[in-house]
Amino acid sequence: MKGEFEFIDGIRRTFPVPDGITGIGDDCAVIPQTDGWETLVSTDMLVEGVHFLLEDISPYQLGWKSAAVNFSDIAAMGGTPSGSFLAIAVPRTTGAGWLEEFLHGYRDISGKYGFPLLGGDTSSSPDRVSICVTVLGKAPAGTSLKRSSARPGDLICVTGFTGDSAAGLDAVLKGRPREGEVPYLIDRHYLPHPRIAEGMSLARTDGVHAMMDISDGIGSDIRHIMEESGVGAEIDVDRLPLSDELRAYCRRFGADPLDFALNGGEDYELLFTAGPQASIDVPHTVIGQITENRGLVWKGSDRDFNGFRHF
């Protein structure tokens, strides 16, 4: 749901940002408060035909996912949930039952991760569903984990598995029979679980420096950390965490799991860097190292890995 580089650059150039406020170009904006906390805010728009197709995703899944991708931005800073705001434009031809099911999915994930819905806006739309979620979180002052804090020598780490979501999308697009590992992978695509608890734990862990969520694919996302931190990175593609389900899917259908893991997006796992001495409680996999040299080096493969961009 990212990819707005030119736009963000434009904002940085033309909009003065007040002192103390950071995070433009990060997963959330970070607004200092006077009570020892900082407020985290992120907003994302999802448009039918670009981010989802109504034929492919159920209203329940769409409600869940619209929230999930935003909650994940709070997780990516290590923030505590505060709440969310939902704006949605729906064609008049869409039945009332559709919106009810959408809200059902939105409500279920909101309850599960502790984000109350605090407000919203609905309007009609001529022909497509548009959804905009704004999410608020908070963190003790100065503890939010930004993309800009990676240091040479840091280990590059990732929670969970990479590539499952992209394989799930592949399964939908190619009409794979919904059996074996396929339903699991499709769920990973449509019902992602933001890493709220893991993010909060990592933000409280000494030696964890930079963090973001994986929304465009590691191959693209790691470049954000590199760019914001002014560092390089070396990634060992053979160490990427691949689920048994992803491997099974790729064996069955003759695909390369690394394509999904690196170039596919929307895993909503956490990508973070930590000093080698950091004592990390959250389950994770070390996939590489931050380097002083500003380049990106892929070990274990000579292919060119590029994330995808929306805009």
| Site residues for a copy of itself per CB under 8 A | 1-4, 6-8, 10-11, 14-18, 21, 23-24, 28-29, 31, 33-35, 37, 39, 41-45, 47-51, 82-83, 85-89, 99-100, 103, 107, 110, 116-128, 130, 132, 134, 136, 310-311
What's the CA gap between 181 and 178, in Å, rounded?
8
- For a copy of itself, give the closer residue by CB, 136 or 218: 136
- For a copy of itself, give the closer residue by CB, 37 or 301: 37
- For a copy of itself, give the closer residue by CB, 99 or 255: 99
Task: Kindly give the residue spans of alpha helices, DSSP state H, lying in 127-217.
Answer: 164-173, 182-190, 196-203
Q: How far is the CB of 254 from a copy of itself (least distance, A)?
A: 31
Q: How far is the CB of 71 from a copy of itself (least distance, A)?
A: 15
Task: Kindly give the residue spans of alpha helices, DSSP state H, lying in 151-306.
Answer: 164-173, 182-190, 196-203, 218-229, 244-253, 257-258
Q: Are strands 37-47 and 29-32 parallel, antiparallel or unpaired?
A: antiparallel
- For a copy of itself, give the closer residue by CB, 1 or 185: 1
What's the CA gap between 24 and 30, in Å, rounded?
8
Measure the CA angle with vertex 40, ends 78 and 140; round to 5°: 60
Q: How far is the CB of 116 from a copy of itself (least distance, A)?
A: 5
- For a copy of itself, give the closer residue by CB, 29 or 274: 29
Nearest Cα to Cα of residue 131 among 248, 8, 4, 43: 43
Q: How far is the CB of 74 from a copy of itself (least distance, A)?
A: 13
Q: How far is the CB of 112 from a copy of itself (least distance, A)?
A: 13
What's the CA gap between 137 and 199, in Å, rounded?
12
